[in-house]
Amino acid sequence: MHRITSSPERGELGRFAEVARALGSPFVAAVLEAGERQLPHAPRTAALIRDWPGETGSDAVAMRFNAALHAIARAGRQPALTALYTQQHDDFDGAIGAALAASDDVIAVSMQDTPQTNEVGRSAAIAAALMVAYQTFGMPFELFEIGSSCGLNLNLGRYGYDLGGISAGVGGSPVQIAPKWSGANPPPAPLDVIAASGVDLNPLKASEPGTRDRLLSYVWADQPHRARRLEAALALALRYPPRVDHANAVPWLAARLEEAQPVGQCRVVYHSMVLQYLSVRDRDVIIATIRHAGARATIKRPLAWISFEWSQTRDEVQLCLTCWPGGETRVLAICHAYGEWIDWRAGTGR
């Protein structure tokens, strides 16, 4: 069992430092711990974190803080911070304290933007769930993604995968994803995607200046393989631009699911690490919308719902699949938050 725990007596940055370390990033853990010690140098940022209007964990406040520092380091505006992030020294407190003092306003403004990770590694889990759905229905897929960001995971049918020794997707793709795998193998099946569209309140375009830097700032600096994979996915998105509509997911999804569905085509609604950023009302309405569409599904026009999200207790990330007709939800796997490993559970009922 891979569980994430944190200590309640530390501040928000210190608490998430423990999570970052458990997720395989000692560097980010050290950044956050030093950041917590040096926060007095950045009174505006400190006040923002202290008085955060929402739930700091689900709003990923610590991730926003690290991304803001990483963006400054990548831009080269603070040479000592850049040298720290490129592992030329290990004076975390000195470099971060100076950066906080010099860039307090920049960091505070940056942190108010919703995180844009668009982690391509999660596509492996979504692809494995699609293979299970294909085994169930044997039909090509029309994909609807909520919270698509730059839409990189809408291109999941163009990527190649090694899923515990099972090859899937496009073997010659420049984007190859091979998570550490435990448990049984997913069922071999094609990733037959005939259409894919998504929605985001603030969609990014691979062709626009600044998108690459924004997304790369959310990649943890001591995990360069993720950065390389992201850059390959961005390059592929220039050749095959994903369709991401600029809209609220609630009416958008309702409208998509009301559209006529061809016979012999499986619709799939999916999302990864998105529900935590929605209001309780919007989250409930989206879930009700999916279930309402599921109640109308038939064996000739089926619906699948794939969820890659934290559990309610936020101690593990669950890959869940619900298929209609029927409506049974299965926990297919427990996953690393960025898809680095997948512990396949082969469909435990829930």
Residue 182 lies in a domain: yes
Quote the CA–CA distance of 24 and 185 in Å, as a whole number: 24
Residue 230 lies in a domain: no
Q: How many domains does the chain have?
A: 2
Closest C-alpha to 89, from 10, 15, 34:
34
User: 347 falls in which pLDDT band (50, 70, 90)?
Assistant: low
- In this structure, is residue 196 part of a structural domain? yes
Q: Which domain holds residue 191?
A: 120-204+240-349
Using one digit for the tens of pLDDT, what is the confidence trace for 40-99? Answer: 999 999 999 999 998 998 899 999 999 999 999 999 989 999 999 999 999 999 999 999
Q: Which residue in the block uniquely carries the two structure tokens 């990649």?
A: 219
Q: Are residues 28 and 173 in the same domain?
A: no
Q: Which residue has the higher pLDDT, 117 or 263?
A: 263
Dump pLDDT digits (tens) for 236-261.
999 999 999 999 999 999 999 999 99
Could you write out the three-class secondary structure of 295-341? HHCCCCCCEEEEEEEECCCCCCEEEEEEEECCCEEEEEEEECCCCCE
158 and 84 share a domain? Answer: no
pTM, to two decimals = 0.90
**How far, in Å, CA of 304 to CA of 321, rounded?**
7
The CA dihedral of 130, 235, 20, 27, to the nearest 10 degrees, is 150
The one-letter amino acid at 124: A
Q: Is 235 a domain residue?
A: no
Domain boundary residue among 79, 111, 143? Answer: 111
Asked if 137 and 269 sit in the same domain, the reply is: yes
Same domain as 171, residue 24: no
CB 199 within 8 A of CB 247: yes
Region for 191 from its dihedrals, namely left if φ exceeds 0, alpha if ψ lies in -120 to 50, beta otherwise: beta
Query: Whole-number mean pLDDT of the chain?
Result: 94
Whether residue 2 is predicted with pLDDT greater than 80 in this model: the reply is no
